[in-house]
Amino acid sequence: MTHPAPDPELALAYLDGRIDDGPLLVEAARLRDEGKGRIVTYSRKVFVPLTTLCRDRCTYCTFAKPPGAGGMYLEPEEVLGVVKAGAERDCTEALFTLGDRPEDRWPQAREFLAAHGHGTTLSYVEAMSRLVMEETPLFPHANPGVMTREEMAALRPSNPSMGLMLENVSPRLMEKGMPHFECPDKDPAIRLQVIDHAGELRVPFTTGILVGIGETNQEIIESLFAIDERQRRRGCVQEVIVQNFRAKADTPMRRHAEPLPAWFARVVAVARWLLGPEMNLQVPPNLTEHFEIYLSAGINDWGGVSPLTIDWVNPEQPWPHLEELAARTRAAGHELVPRLPVYPEFIDSTWLAPSVLAKARRATDSDGYALAGRALPSSR
């Protein structure tokens, strides 16, 4: 990435609302058009919640559940069942999302893993990724929480891309009373190290920020700079998700204010401005009704959208109908195009293991976009 580094003081002034955001939004859209043209992508996915057990205690989370209250692992047959159903709906991504290292906290997790021949959840993720890679047309995208370098290396032959949200670079969010208190896997230094490992291992990597969980505007800017710094050094960041916090009932943060769309659009535009024209920038479309605002603020991707499975992390927020997403994206002057979980610019022998690359080439056109799922209407 060779784009000039923007001025952090000016970025902060935009987020603080001390200056008019008109020029920022114009520049963000211009940068997106310069780097991405009119194409806006999405990934047709099925959500595979491999385990809803977790050792962490994030105060905004409804995904993680204790044993006896919904915390469980999926059996291999259940994984294959949902992934094969996704294949029938032209999905190309099997998103493995799960809690962090539940075996460190829950005996039930250790028992499940031992009964299935695994010592760790990451070992089970590797086995299930391989199963999906070998027995279905879909591509795994592991989003398994913090991974060691060795665990990531083991996943690479079956995962064309992987992900871990940075969320925020501030360790302050781990203090008592803050959302990441008693969450060892939310240590930003550890999460930045995971991105570094992705660079070393040549893993196309998805990361991003979670906005509205008690961070300051300054900490948002610092988080984006931390991601940009990795990208300049490692080149492995294939996309950055800018995710708005949504308050969920039955969580300690249920009364915490959610970001307002106009301000959140500033965050998105600042992200585009800081990260430059080449970065793939995503806002999850099921967490907002304001598609047009974020297209104007410089995004070029809607992320994973499932025609089949719910968003297990935000089960109260249904995916938009793909027909509506396509129509509103088109009305805003863009073309909605399906992609694999790995972005076109990473589909080469530098970034993908040979067998993954061969399968990715068979599943994509000459520009690297997914062949499956082109014929809308085809969602639900």
Q: Which of 11, 28, 50, 64 binds ligand SF4 (CB under 6 A)?
A: 64
* 99 belongs to the binding site for ligand SF4 (CB under 6 A): yes
Q: Which of 14, 63, 205, 351 binds ligand SF4 (CB under 6 A)?
A: 63
* 56 belongs to the binding site for ligand SF4 (CB under 6 A): yes
Q: Which of 31, 61, 169, 241 binds ligand SF4 (CB under 6 A)?
A: 61
- Report the distance separating Cα 128 and Cα 111, nearest Å: 18
Query: Which residue number, 57 or 328, has a Cβ lying nearer to ligand SF4?
Result: 57
* 96 belongs to the binding site for ligand SF4 (CB under 6 A): no
**How many residues in the shown chain lie near ligand SF4 by CB under 6 A?**
12
Query: Which residue number, 61 or 322, has a Cβ lying nearer to ligand SF4?
Result: 61
Residue 208 in contact with residue 223, Cβ under 8 Å? no
- Of 321, 329, 312, the C-alpha closest to 379 is 321
Rounded CA Rg of the chain: 19
CB contact burial 62-72 (16+ within 10 A = b; e otherwise):
bbbbebeeebb
Cis peptide before 344 (omega within 30 of 0): no
**Residues between 138 and 157 that touch ligand SF4 (CB under 6 A):** 145
* 58 belongs to the binding site for ligand SF4 (CB under 6 A): yes
Query: Which residue number, 216 or 251, has a Cβ lying nearer to ligand SF4?
Result: 251
Shortest Å distance, C-beta 242 to ligand SF4 = 17
DSSP states of 190-247 as a string? HHHHHHHHHHHHT--EEEEEEESSS--HHHHHHHHHHHHHHHHHH--EEEEEEEE---
Query: Which residue number, 99 or 320, has a Cβ lying nearer to ligand SF4?
Result: 99
Stretch that binds ligand SF4, among 22-30, 58-66, 251-259, 283-291 (CB under 6 A): 58-66
Q: Which of 31, 48, 54, 268 binds ligand SF4 (CB under 6 A)?
A: 54
- Report the distance separating Cα 343 and Cα 348, nearest Å: 10
- Report the distance separating Cα 128 and Cα 184, nearest Å: 25
CB contact burial 135-147 (16+ within 10 A = b; e otherwise):
ebbbbbbbbbbbb
Token look-up 């499956």 returns: 372
* 311 belongs to the binding site for ligand SF4 (CB under 6 A): no
Query: Which residue number, 121 or 379, has a Cβ lying nearer to ligand SF4?
Result: 121
DSSP E strands, the chain: 39-49, 93-97, 139-143, 161-163, 205-211, 237-244, 281-282, 301-305, 335-339
Site string for ligand SF4, 168-187 (x = CB under 6 A): ---------------x-x--
* 284 belongs to the binding site for ligand SF4 (CB under 6 A): no
Stretch that binds ligand SF4, among 54-62, 104-112, 132-140, 208-216 (CB under 6 A): 54-62
Residue 326 in contact with residue 332, Cβ under 8 Å? no
**Residues between 213 and 242 that touch ligand SF4 (CB under 6 A):** none
List of residues contacting ligand SF4 (CB under 6 A)? 54, 56-58, 61, 63-64, 99-100, 145, 183, 185
